[in-house]
Amino acid sequence: MGWWANFFFSRQWLVYAAAILLRLALLVYGRWQDSNSPVKYTDIDYLVFTDAARYIAVGRSPYDRATYRYTPLLAWMLYPTTWGGVWFEFGKCLFAFGDVLTGLLIAKSLREQAGFNKDRAMKYASIWLLNPMVANISTRGSSEGLVVAMVVPILLQALRRRIWICGFLLGVAVHVKIYPFIYAAAVFWWLGPKSKDGVKANESNPSKSSWPETVLQLVNKQRQSLVIASALAFTLLNGAMFNAYGMPFIKHTYLYHFTRLDHRHNFSVYNTVLHLNSANPRQASDLRVESLAFIPQLLLAVVAIPLICAKKDLAGTMLAQTFAFVTFNKVCTSQYFLWYMVFLPFYLPYSSFMRRPKLGVSALVLWILGQAAWLQQGYELEFLGHSTFLPGLWLASASFYLINCWILGVIVADVAAHVS
C-alpha cells in the first residue's frame, strides 16, 4: 500500500471526514436528481416514513399511511421532517449519521477486541465507512443504517461480557427490525465457560456431565441475563406501542412480514413464485411459499450456523447467520446487503478471500455480476414493459442465489475453522 494510503489511514479524522463528505455529496446530488430527473434518488420507503411522521404530527396513527410496516418509533424519530423545507432531509442525515457511528464502533471493536493497531483498524473499518453502496442506501432514505447502528453494539457489548446491556440492545433492535432476533441464538450459544482450547467447556462433551449439570450450563447466569434483558426491552417497547396504536401496530409491524408477497425489486430465488401467487391468488396451493420459505432460512440462520460456528468466533457467526438469512429470505433487496456487510471488517482479516486474493476477487466479481444480470432483467420489466419473469428474471435470481450459497459455504468453513 502506498505512502498516501498509510498517511490517510494513520489519521482517523481524515477517514471520518472523507466518510462524512461522501454522504454530504450524495445528499446534495440527491436533491438535484429529485428536482431534475424523472428517476428519483430518494427511496420510496423514505416517502412512506415521512408521510407517517406527518400523520403523527396531526395526532393520527402512522398506520393510517398505507404500506407503513414499521415501528411507530421510526415515524416519531422523523418528526422534524414535518417542518418542511430542508428539514425533509433530516431522516437521511440521521441514517447517514448512523452509518458513520457504526464505522466508529467497528474501528473501536477491532482495536479493543481483535487487538488491531489504529491504522489497521481504520483500514478495515473503511470497508464500511467509505463503501459507496452503504453511503448511497442511507442517503436515499433507507433506515438500514440506523438498524445496523444498533446491531454492532450488540456484538461489542457481548464481547465485553456486558450481557444485560447486550440483551437490552437486542430487544430494542428486534423491536425496530425483526431480523436481529437471529443473533440471540449466536450470543446464547457463545456464552458460557471456556476450556483452555477455546471451546466451551463440557457443552461439547455432554457425556462428561450429568444431565442436571448440563441443564445448569445451558441456563447459566449470563444466558439467563441475556434472555431476561432482551425479553424485557422487547416487551416494554411493544407494550407501549400496542397501548398507543392497538392491533394495527401488531398487524403491520410483525404479522404482515409472515405473509408478504413483495416481488418488485426482489433478488430472491422465490421472486417468480411470489409474482405468480400474487397474480393468481386463487390458484396458489395451500402450501404457500411465503410460509414455507422460513423453514430452510431459520434452520440455517438460527440452528445450524450458531451450533457450528458460535463457539469459534461470534462476529463471524453473526455474518454467516445474516448472509444465510438474506440469501434464503423470500424478499431480498439491496438494502438487506447492508445487514451482513457490516460484519465484513471483523471476518475479512482471517478469511479465505483475503488469504487467496484470486478467490476474493472472483467472489466479488460474481456477486456484482449476479446483481447486474438481475437488474438488467428488472430494467426491461419495469421501464421497458417487457415480460421477463420467465425465463430471464428467474434465471438471474437463481444464478445470484447459487453465487451467494457458494460464498456462504466459504464463510461458514472459515468461521468453523477459526481459532480466536
- Provide the pLDDT for residue 207: 53
Give residue 282's pLDDT.
59
Question: CA-to-CA distance for 255 and 251, rounded, in angstroms?
Answer: 5
In this prediction, residue 331 carries a pLDDT of 87
pLDDT of residue 30: 96
In the block, residue with C-alpha cell 466518510: 19
- Cα distances from 315 to residues 65, 109, 141, 161, 353, in angstroms, run 37, 11, 27, 14, 16
- Classified as helix, coil or strand, 420 is coil
Res 11: pLDDT: 87
pLDDT tens string for the chain (420 positions)? 677 778 888 889 999 999 999 999 999 999 999 999 888 999 999 999 999 999 999 999 999 998 999 999 999 999 999 999 999 999 999 999 999 999 999 999 999 999 999 999 999 999 999 999 999 999 999 999 899 999 999 999 999 999 999 999 999 999 999 999 999 999 999 996 654 444 455 454 545 556 666 666 778 899 999 999 999 999 999 999 999 999 999 999 998 877 766 656 688 888 877 776 666 655 555 556 666 778 999 999 999 999 999 999 999 999 999 999 999 998 888 999 999 999 999 999 999 999 999 999 999 999 999 999 998 888 787 777 777 777 888 899 999 999 999 999 999 999 999 976
What is the model's pLDDT at position 105? 97
- DSSP state letters, 358-409: HHHHHHHHHHHHHHHHHHHHHHHHHTS----IIIIIHHHHHHHHHHHHHHHH
Looking at the DSSP bridge assignments, the partners of residue 200 are 194
The cell numbers describing 247, all together, are: 392491533
pTM, 2 dp: 0.92
Domain limits, the chain: 1-41+84-142, 143-248, 260-420
DSSP tag of 389:
I
Cell of 29: 446530488
For residue 339, give the nearest of 188, 176, 189 by alpha carbon. Answer: 176
What is the pLDDT at residue 205? 53
Beta bridge pairs of residue 171: none
What span, in angstroms and rounded, lies between the C-alpha atoms of 31 and 43? 12
What pLDDT was estimated at residue 196?
Answer: 42
The grid coordinates of residue 241 equal: 406501542
